[in-house]
A and B are shown apart, each in its own frame.
Chain A
Amino acid sequence: MRLKDISTPVPKKDHKDKVSGQLPYISDVKVDNMVYGVLYRSPIAYGKIKSIYVPTLPEGYDVVGAEDIPGPNYVKIIKQDQPIFANEWVNYIGEPILMLVGKDLNTLYGLRDKVKVEFEEHQPIYTLDEAIDQISSASFVSYEFGKGLDIISAIEQDAHQIVEEEYTTGYQEHVYLEPQGMLAVYKDDEIVVHGSMQALYYIKNALLSALACGDDEVRVVQSPTGGGFGGKEEFPSMMACHVAIAANAVKKSVMLVFDRHEDMVVTTKRHPAKFKYRTALDKEGNILSMCVDVFLDGGANEGLSSVVLQRSLLNSAGVYNIPHFHAKGHVLKTNTVPNGAFRGFGAPQSFAGIESHMGHLSKYAQLDPLEYKRKYLVKQGDPTITKGNFRDPILMEEMIEDLLDASDYNKKKEEFQRFNQQNLRYKKGIGTSVFLHGCGFTGSGERDHIKATVKLVKSKDGKVLLKISNSDMGQGIYTTLSKIVAKELDLPLEQVSYPDPDTKEVPDSGPTVASRTTMIVGKLLERAAKKLKAEWKSGEEQEVFEHYVHREMIPWDEKTFTGDAYPAYSWGVNFVEVEVDTLTGIVKLEKVYGNYEVGKAIDDRIMKGQIDGGLAQGLAYGYLEKMTTKQGKIQQKSISDYGPPTSLDVVPIESKLFDNPYADGPSGAKGAGELTLIGGAPAVQSAIEDALQTSFQQIPVTAEVIMESLERKLVNRVD
């Protein structure tokens, strides 16, 4: 099939094997001489290990721990603060201490029950609030930027009023349907790690450090990955270290697969957050200044949290041009499971917060929330909050107008008001969110840290292979990136293929994160294809490489938090209609709309899949999915305890794409995968607020939260 318009949908390359279930995910794989691993994990939240007792192990069973690590005992990532096997201090419940390996899982569970570790317990920090109280010792990292506080305090003195709000967001759990799994295949001259993953070279680098071995002694191969959403960005590095160290120690292949329970309680999650807003208004409710404090619960170690905080802060003013804006943020340590990457990476928290705050401020101006927000929308040429620039055209006004029409917004508002007056039990509401997503790594990450390289290999018979380290985890890059190359080479799509990446074969084109794959890697592939086309020699094998070139704009400076934080932005608008049952607090989605601008979609159908799936996660983050800890322990241990949406919770989504081709993206494409999640929670919150004519200072707005708020209202009325 030859491609005309890149956006025209094509059948997905991996469809057949997936629909028949014959694609082997890691848990479907068996190799010779394979044993299983089970981890013994810390039962306490904070303390020092005094002694470890391991029962006598039967023949063929082994214990693997810190002594077996050839290299330093940490999982190499940004900060070196996560031990591979804790051997001195434990910092959270579930932290791995040692691994038992052997043939039979039930025997391993039985043996694990007999392991005894003695601790000297210390006082843990269980909650974000406790950490905020001890901020000087609990802060991992902080940033501050924006207008000087002296100027702001002068403005506040003359202001008509100051509005202060606190806002909290909860955990979010990925619930990728395939639990985490990793297999280290032991060979005489190398260890090959296979598994479910998003970032091959993160894992490879972690293994080179942990095994203290040469580059050719370890290899990482991505298995088909049953969903990632960020959950398989940094976490798999630790599992890969576990299986590779064990394989190295026992000279057998070692498989570690989590069951759902283990996956839910020990893997990274979206950072819970707290926001403090302080906004000065004039008499008409216009914003004079705004200060935002962001607090992220990092959990027990820093991991990627500093970068997550950067994105939170960069999005702390939403899509608005706010006069005199100041922001400060901290990641705080708590003795809970470490938090990490999750689709949106700090942005969903910030957007939930700022959209909520702006909605509440609109009341002071006696304006409809959306009308109020529109007054502050950024326009092309406006500065960003870090003194960068929105240099490309922005279509937000058009996208909003279109949805006002499509949803019949004004009429709906009146209709719902009437409905709500006539109905005691059910209340209807409509809410909106406006948002953006900075595409690619924050700041100079691409240039300084990733330095992506892509490779195309052409065979004698004119077939072209993509050699890159990016993972298809369901988002469809096997298809979309192949399309980009096929289009540029003017080849039928069938002649271009993209095998499962293997670090022995592929250069480091970076991790599959940050909505960078289509835009950054796709562009490199497009350029490589162009080069190959120019050099094309029939009947010969050929290879071409392309390397990332940084387009310098306003240079990013992480210390002062100034400059262009992102090369480009994708944009979105959501409208959501709900019906709330005031007897039970249950929220029913009635209609969901989304308009998006992602430059140019590489495949409209795959893009729709991103919209539907991302929005389902984003909406649920706002009202359905709830995860909590009690004394350092995750309370939701099964999928239904946690409550991700089923087919009965979602409704058809009316979505539309607005083309706005981006010069540095392949065929004009920008990032898309994370954007789609961001608008869900704030839109559903504002719809519930509209229905109940109240305001919430938190997500998720669960049935429980709604009932409490209704009871408070009732008490106030009686008083």
Chain B
Amino acid sequence: METDAPPTARLLDLIREEFGLIGTKEGCGEGECGACSIFVNNSLQNSCLIPIGAIAGAEIQTIEGLMETEQFKILDESYSECGGVQCGYCIPGMVMASAALLSENPNPTDAEIREGISGNLCRCTGYNMIVDAVELAAKKGEVVCQKK
């Protein structure tokens, strides 16, 4: 993708305004809530903190991209089965953080899950049902891997 936006423009704005991808949300604009989580070269980042000048040539993936993957399907199901979604505003970011964690660590412990999503704020759920969802996704992921 190319853009004429100035190098100081926030990646978050580029994603939302210029590319019209609304799955990346703004909750704070200061790197404190994780609602704007995306992958930059496969690593989880807060897009509100990134000036686009800093990521020329990097590979960016948003929730819209993740949506195409098997991993997303599993996370989607697990979040539903565990009741991890309330208002939904934190959720795309949470799902990105969950995916990042599971990609690195397919069998995380409860503590590792809490650590893995600790940069993502959720005001509705009190986190436990999200933690359950990630745990369930890990289990389901194992089954998927075995099938393959």
- Write out the residue numbers on chain A whose beta carbons fall within 8 Å of the beta carbon of B122: 177, 647
Given A177-B123, A224-B88, A615-B126, A24 and B27 touching (CB < 8 A)? no
Chain-A contact segment, one of B28-36, B39-47, B52-60: B28-36
Bound form: Cα–Cα A652–B130 in Å: 11
Among B22, B32, B87, B95, point to the contact of A19 (Cβ < 8 A).
B95
- Interface flag for A473 (CB, 8 Å): yes
Write out the residue numbers on chain A whose beta carbons fall within 8 Å of the beta carbon of B90. 177
B: which residues have CB within 8 A of A?
Answer: 16, 22-30, 32-33, 35, 63-64, 67, 72, 75-76, 79-81, 83, 85-92, 95, 110, 113-115, 117-131
Q: Which chain A residue has the least Cβ–Cβ distance from B28? A: A260
Q: Give A16 to B79 CA distance when docked, in angstroms.
A: 10
| Cβ contacts under 8 Å, B85 to chain A | 12, 15, 18-19
26 contacts between A and B (CB under 8 A): A18-B88, A19-B88, A19-B91, A21-B23, A21-B25, A21-B63, A21-B91, A21-B95, A24-B22, A27-B25, A28-B16, A177-B27, A177-B90, A228-B87, A260-B28, A609-B125, A612-B125, A616-B126, A645-B127, A646-B118, A646-B119, A646-B127, A647-B118, A652-B110, A653-B126, A653-B128
Closest partner residue, chain B, to A605 (CB atom): B83
- List the 8 closest A-B pairs by CB distance, nearest first: A21-B23, A474-B87, A18-B88, A226-B89, A21-B92, A616-B126, A474-B86, A612-B126
Q: For residue A637, which residue of chain B has the nearest CB?
A: B30
Seed contacts A18-B88, A609-B83, A645-B126; 8 additional CB < 8 Å A-B pairs: A20-B76, A28-B16, A175-B121, A609-B86, A613-B125, A639-B27, A647-B113, A652-B110
Please, which residue of chain A has its CB at the minimum distance from the CB of B66? Answer: A20
Asked if A22 is at the interface (CB within 8 A of a chain B CB), the reply is yes
On whether the beta carbons of A639 and B25 are closer than 8 Å, the reply is no
Max chain A C-beta neighbours (<10 A), residue from B79, B81, B127: B127
Partner of B79, one of A15, A178, A647: A15
Check A20–B92 contact: CB distance below 8 A.
Answer: yes
Number of A residues with CB within 8 Å of any CB on chain B: 56
Contact A21 B24 (CB under 8 A): yes
Residues 641-693 (chain A) with a chain B CB within 8 angstroms: 644-648, 650, 652-653
- Considering the complex, give the chain B residue whose CB is closest to the CB of A21: B23
Q: Would you give the shortest CB distance from B116 to chain A, in whole angstroms? A: 8
Contacts of B35 in A (CB 8 A): 177
**A18-B91, A226-B88 given; A652·B128 CB < 8 A:** yes
A226 CA / B90 CA spacing, docked (Å): 8
Given A19-B76, A648-B114, does the pair A474, B27 have CB atoms closer than 8 Å? no
Q: CB distance A179 to B80 under 8 Å?
A: no
Do residues B83 and A178 form an inter-chain contact, with CB atoms below 8 A? no
The minimal Cβ–Cβ distance linking B135 to chain A, given in whole angstroms, is 11
Does A25 have its Cβ within 8 Å of any Cβ on chain B?
yes
* Complex CA–CA separation, A710 to B128 (angstroms): 33
Q: Tell yes or no: A142 within 8 A of B by CB.
A: no
Q: Is A638's CB under 8 angstroms from B30's CB?
A: yes
CB pair A608–B83 under 8 Å, yes or no, is yes
With A and B bound together, what is the CA distance between A613 and B125 in angstroms?
A: 4
Name the prevailing secondary structure of the B interface residues: loop
Smallest CB gap from A227: residue in B: B87
**A619 nearest in chain B by CB position:** B126
Given A177-B33, A178-B27, A638-B28; A19-B80 close (CB under 8 Å): yes
B119: A residues at CB distance < 8 A: 646
Q: How far is the CB of B129 from chain A (nearest CB, A)?
A: 6
The answer on a CB contact under 8 Å between A23 and B128 is no
Shortest beta-carbon distance, A34 to chain B, in Å? Answer: 13
Which residues of B lie under 8 Å from residue A308 when comparing CB positions?
Answer: none
Report Cα–Cα, A473/B124, bound state, in Å.
10
Q: Which of B83, B95, B110, B125 has the most CB of A within 10 A?
A: B83
Query: CB distance B124 to A644 under 8 Å?
Result: no
Which residues of chain A come closer than 8 Å to B16, judged between CB atoms? 28
List of B residues within 8 angstroms of A229 by Cβ: 123
CB <8 Å contact, B80 and A12: yes
Best-surrounded residue of B26, B87, B114, B131 (most CB of chain A within 10 A):
B87
Contacts of B88 in A (CB 8 A): 14, 17-19, 23, 224, 226, 474
A60 to B33, CA, bound (A): 35
Question: Could you tell me the distance between the alpha carbons of A8 and B123 in the complex, rounded to whole angstroms?
Answer: 25
Query: B72 contacts which chain A residues (CB < 8 A)?
Result: 20
Q: How far is the CA of A476 from the CA of B86 in the complex (A)?
A: 7
Partner of B124, one of A260, A474, A652: A474
Question: A639 to B16, alpha carbons, bound, how many Å?
Answer: 22
- Expressed in whole angstroms, the Cα–Cα distance for A229 and B124 within the complex equals 9
Q: Residue on B with the closest CB to A23?
A: B88
> Is B129 touching A609 in the complex (CB atoms < 8 A)?
yes
Q: Please measure, in the bound complex, the distance between the C-alpha atom of A216 and the C-alpha atom of B128, giving whole angstroms.
A: 45
For the complex, give the distance between the alpha carbons of A228 and B87 in Å: 9
Is A417 close to B, CB under 8 A? no
Within 8 A of B (CB), among A458-484: 473-476
**Minimum distance in angstroms from A225 CB to a CB of chain B:** 7
Residue contact B92 to A178, C-beta cutoff 8 Å: no
